[in-house]
Structure 1
Amino acid sequence: MTATLTRSALRIGPYEVDPPVVLAPMAGITNVAFRRLCREYGAGLYVCEMITSRALVERHPKTLEMVTFDADESPRSMQLYGVDPATMRDAVKMIVDDDLADHVDMNFGCPVPKVTRKGGGSALPYKRNLFREIVSAAVGAAEPAGIPVTVKFRIGIDDEHLTYLDAGRIAEAEGAKAVALHGRTAAQRYSGTADWSAIARLKEAVTSIPVLGNGDIFSADDALRMMAETGCDGVVVGRGCLGRPWLFRDLQAAFAGEPVPQGPNLGEVARVLRRHAELLADHMGADKGLRDLRKHMPQYMRGFPVGSDLRRALGTVSGFGELDDLLGSLDPTVPFPDEAEGPRGRQGSAGKVVLPEGWLEDPDDASVPFAAEIDSSGG
């Protein structure tokens, strides 16, 4: 049975987000095709893939291609990654001047080694003054245009270096319109269990702007439980919607106090998968779109009694005729399996965070790490 919850509307700057649900940016996943597919199931805030500030300022062709929104996508939400206040200011100014987005979310949560070894992502909030300068630069460039800036981060680098309370207070003081906390450290990556109690503590510390919770939301009931247990103002959904865009339908129903629909049978999943293929083809062409679809196949088929040969064929599909034949061979009456519930997507194991040499020596050092800006997006 799904829990019920009394709540006030979530506002991020001028935008009301109802239900209070945000699609987390995921590299290689949350392109315009996937966002449209999810939006067809329910309202919320849908954030594009992470964009690096330097690549945007330098007008990198791949980056500009990633900054694509549907004509009816509103607000247009872009996540920026950066480690240099000056570059971040220039990137946000470009967003304003070129009318590229209506909302900017800043990434200080990425645990990927190629990012943290340069002092970026979830490593950066440890440098409190540098973090403050980056947030201030983005807000200063966005505020005159009325574009809200939000900030996402993790609990800290590891259990010995927690940063989330300072990060939340700094972001609030510098004019961010909301903060979001993934309840894991960088060292945890996506392993183990998210610490929702940290979200509750952040909510107690940050009182004038919304606090959003992220981590281990794989069902509508998870979202309602997180809000009830932590007092957070909204939820950020990442891996839980992989191969399961109808999760946003479930969330919309749950937040409206309505019964959550049963999971789709295999015939409906095949229809959704086919729709995803069409949207990818519209966005990047049929060949590239179907290649991109392959990585989604295991998530769509998860838990269903689909043989290994058919799974392998779906994972190498290269044409729409072939895709239709494969989907047509599925038994459409198979109900949604219990095995498809629960955690999905990458989990992996915890590990030591790769950091720049001497990174932990002085948390007040505001100098920009040498060669810290990565030159491509999607990290």
Structure 2
Amino acid sequence: MSLAPATAPLRIGPYEVDPPVVLAPMAGITNVAFRRLCREYGAGLYVCEMITSRALVERHPTTLQMVSFDADESPRSMQLYGVDPATMYDAVRMVVDENLADHVDMNFGCPVPKVTRKGGGSALPYKRRLFGRIVQAAVRAAEPAGIPVTVKFRVGIDDEHVTHLDAGRIAEDTGAAAVALHGRTAAQRYSGTADWDQVARLKETVRSIPVLGNGDIFSADDALKMMSSTGCDGVVVGRGCLGRPWLFRDLQAAFAGEPVPEGPSLGEVSRVLRRHAELLTEHMGEDKGVRDLRKHMAQYLRGFPVGSELRKRFGLVSTLAELDDLLAGLDPDVPFPAEAEGPRGRQGSAGKVVLPEGWLDDPEDSSVPEGAELDHNGG
């Protein structure tokens, strides 16, 4: 394990983030239950699931349910997605006026085709002027309350349409408190490896605000290596903590220069899994909460010698009592397996980015993509 890099504390607006670690918003994952579970392992900044600005302004019931934080969660961090400066302004004003959050992160990194085909997510920074107008609108709405606005984006649409350096400069010039870069293009999605050199280039370009790096951080050592090799000010962790919330304990130890604890035994993993179920039940009720836990089972049990039949039963669990019975059948003394290390979550494959017709014709076009938010109400 390498030593923790000697860096100044990460500050995002008025908030010191120590260790300099941010939980990336993940749809269907980073709800209040999962964030609390992760926070029990270590400090950092924990961002809620992505919220659609239009759905927030329209008070979509599902969206309002997603905007929930623990009483002791501070700062309360919300990620907003939007393509219209006016709607983004209204959404952030609503955050301010109704005291919904303490920090707003903006998503310009989503590579999902249903988002990019209408000009949203990782397609949008190509339109430099529109990108700047959206960031400026959020900053202007947040300024009276002193709420910091941060911006996350990718390297670009593909290797021929790289946008991250321009996006970083624009975000810095329009008042963003920090920027975060996922070191992949939209065309890569989550395949291949993240290009950390692009994080270093962004850090060289953006000088007055923090630059955070994202992509392929699956261990505490990965985080230290990213910071030492790129000079970035902090890291954003996404898929690396799936079924592994104790990664934040490891990160806290590593950044403090302390030994990273060994991976948990199967008995300890069982206790974490049960705790996750309890928190989901508190948040959603037992039926919905335990069903929601199913998506996490494969990641929690990854690499452990659990038979296929038992894995299948975990994937179909529907009550806490049933979960307890299944957990009781596991051998608690099995040590954490080497097979559980490394990349997590879906890798997928690279592919052509689906864009609106004529999207690449004029990067200076500042018109709002037609209907880009209409299919994404409810977060």
TM-score bracket for this pair, using the shorter chain length: over 0.9
**1:260 matched residue in structure 2:** 260
SS across alignment from 1:157: strand
1:1-379 equivalences in 2 (<5 Å)? 1-376=1-376
Superposition deviation, residue 169 in structure 1: 0.1
CA pair 377-195 structure 1, distance change in 2 beyond 3 A: farther
Counterpart secondary structure, 2:376: coil
Distance 2:378 2:339 in 1: 30
Contact between 2:62 and 2:378, CA under 8 Å: does it hold in 1?
no
Q: How far apart, in 2, do the equivalents of 1:205 and 1:378 lie? A: 36
CA distance in 2, matches of 1:311, 1:189: 28
TM-score (normalizing by structure 1): 0.99
2:217 aligned partner, one-letter code: I
Name the count of aligned residue pairs. 379
Contact 2:61 2:378 in 1 (8 A): no
Distance 2:96 2:201 in 1: 34
Letter of the 1:134 counterpart = I
Separation of aligned partners in 2, 1:378 and 1:11? 31
Alignment partners' CA distance in 1, 2:177 and 2:378:
24
Distance in 2 separating the partners of 1:323 and 1:378: 30
8 Å CA contact 2:194–2:216 kept in 1: the answer is: yes
Letter in 2 for 1:344: R
Report if aligned partners of 2:54, 2:377 keep a CA contact under 8 Å in 1.
no
Task: Tell me if structure 2 keeps the 8 A contact 1:115–1:374.
Answer: no
Task: Give the Cα separation in 2 of the matches to 1:378 and 1:2.
Answer: 43
Partners of 2:320 and 2:362 in 1: how far apart? 56
CA contact (8 A) 1:182 1:213 kept: yes
Aligned equivalents of 1:183, 1:253: Cα separation in 2? 25
CA contact (8 A) 1:19 1:255 kept: yes
**Gaps (5+ residues) in structure 2?**
none
Distance 1:303 1:312 in 2: 15
Query: Following the alignment from structure 1 to structure 2, what is the Cα–Cα distance between the partners of residues 283 and 374?
Result: 27
Q: What SS does the corresponding residue of 1:192 show, helix, strand or coil?
A: coil
How much does 1:47 deviate?
0.1
- Where 1:79 maps in the other structure, the secondary structure is strand
Displacement of 1:321: 1.0
Letter in 2 for 1:40: E
Question: How big is the shift at 1:374?
Answer: 3.5
Deviation (angstroms), 1:195? 0.1
Partner of 1:46: helix, strand, or coil?
A: strand
Q: Rate the CA distance shift 1:377–1:20 in 2: closer, same or farther, 3 A.
A: farther
Do 2:60 and 2:378's aligned partners in 1 also have CA atoms closer than 8 Å? no
Contact 2:213/2:226 (<8 A) preserved: yes
With the length of structure 2 as denominator, give the TM-score of the two structures.
0.99
Alignment deviations for residues 359-379 of structure 1 (CA, whole Å, 9 cap, x no partner): 000000000011111443576
RMSD of equivalent CA atoms = 0.8
Q: Which amino acid aligns with 2:122?
A: S
**1:176 counterpart SS class:** coil
In 2, the alpha carbon distance for the partners of 1:23 and 1:363 equals: 31
- How many Å apart are 1:116 and its aligned residue? 0.3
**CA contact 1:186–1:353 (8 Å) conserved in 2:** yes
**65-74 or 368-377, larger mean C-alpha shift:** 368-377
Distance 1:377 1:256, change over 3 A: farther
Provide the rounded CA distance (Å) in 1 between the counterparts of 2:374 and 2:341. Answer: 36
Structure 1: runs of 5+ lacking an equivalent: none
Runs of 4+ in 1 over 6 A off after TM superposition: none
